[in-house]
Structure formats: structure tokens, C-alpha cells
Chain A
Amino acid sequence: KAGVTQTPRYLIKTRGQQVTLSCSPISGHRSVSWYQQTPGQGLQFLFEYFSETQRNKGNFPGRFSGRQFSNSRSEMNVSTLELGDSALYLCASSLGGVVEQYFGPGTRLTVT
């Protein structure tokens, strides 16, 4: 069974631009969660989608948004990029909860 895939793996953007990251969950998984990992703040929960509905959102500004498609694939978008948005963005999929989440390899975003 294929694991969680994230594209692209690496991305360099300029401050003020916007970016879209993609996550394809494990087949059959309907829940996708996104996390931001930085050296200073560690791993922080961004949001979770289940069956195309956002069920919860972490403490991030409105510049961070996401969506989920009917095939459970998810995208997250960051608008008006700031230097502090440089991070590893991880997505995790599960059947519907956190008890068995599988993480992808992440997308490393660098904002210059």
C-alpha cells in the first residue's frame, strides 16, 4: 500500500508570494491533518479535514488555508508569505482519527 505522498518536496518562494502544497493520503483514508515544523516552535497543528470538511484549525493566521477534495487529496495554501513561514510542512492521513496517523515526508518551504 502506498504511503502518504507530498508534493513538491522542496520549494523556494519570495516574501509576499503565495504557495500551494499538496498531500495525497493513503488509499481509503478520509482524514488529512497538516502540521508545521520549525526549529523554534516545533511541531504545530494547522488544520484537519475529513470528508472535505475542515473539522478543526490550529492557532494560525488566516493566511493559512486548506481544502480537501472528494478523493481525499488535500491542499494547503499560504498567501502573502513571510520569512517566518519557512518550515517543513507535514501532512498525516488516517481513517478518521489521530490514533493511527501516517505522516508523509513533508514539503520543505524556504521563504527568501
Chain B
Amino acid sequence: AQSVTQLDSQVPVFEEAPVELRCNYSSSVSVYLFWYVQYPNQGLQLLLKYLSGSTLVKGINGFEAEFNKSQTSFHLRKPSVHISDTAEYFCAVSVGSGGGADGLTFGKGTHLIIQP
């Protein structure tokens, strides 16, 4: 079975500073990887996904992530954060063909706190 570990439960960052949210996964087979964001009292919004191909993936709102197969990591980065980026961020993995039947396995989440 696959699992996802988000190494930091909370990350405080000053506005306009860069940020990296860490995610490691474990799976014995190939995976699809995702980052989702959740704003207070809302559902999840897909930031970006890695399915195959280039290991550097660009998403919405200026976020990007790099898939590292040897380190089984999929860290999320943004070069300059804004107050509006304050939210909960979830890393998720799906195994197999991504056909949907297996669902997503989520990490526990990282609360990104932007300080003015």
C-alpha cells in the first residue's frame, strides 16, 4: 500500500519570501502525484499534478513541484509567497493507471502561514 508523508505540519513564511513544502511518498509501483490546496471552509483545489514526463511540474498561482524518483519526493515550491497563499496544502498519491477506482491517498497536510 502507498503512503504519503508531509514532513512539516506548519510552515511560517514572510510575505514575498520563497517557500518549500516537503512531501515524501512510499509505493512499490509507479505513481501519480498531486498537490491540492484547501482554503478555510472550502473544498480542495488542484494546484498541480505529475503523471509522467518532465519531472518539473508547473501549476496554478505560481507554484511548481519537482518529482524525484530516487528520493521518492514531490516537494512544492513558490519563489515569492503572498498573503493569499495562506491555506492548508495536501500532497496526494494514486497508484496504477490513475483510473480512479483506487482513490487518492493524502498526506496529513501542511498549514502555510504567511506573515506580513
Q: Residues on A close to B: CB < 8 A?
A: 4, 31, 33, 35, 42-45, 47-48, 50, 55-56, 58, 90, 92, 94, 96-106
Contact = CB atoms under 8 A, between A and B. Distances in A.
B44 A103 contact: yes
A90 B102 CA distance: 16
In which size bucket is the chain B interface? 20 to 34
Contact of A103 (B45, B97, B100, B107): B45
A58, A94, A99, A102 interface centre (most CB from chain B within 10 Å): A99
Contact of A90 (B43, B101, B105, B108): B43
B46 A56 contact: no
Contacts of B105: 45
Given A103-B45, A106-B43, A98 B98 contact: yes
A56 B103 contact: yes
Contact of A42 (B34, B44, B107): B107
Interface of B: 32, 34, 36, 41-46, 49, 51, 90, 92, 94, 97-109
A37 B97 CA distance: 25
Given A99-B32, A99-B51, A99-B98, A45 B103 contact: yes
A4 B49 CA distance: 20
Given A42-B107, A42-B109, A58-B103, A97 B43 contact: no
A50 B109 contact: no
A75 to B, nearest CB: 18
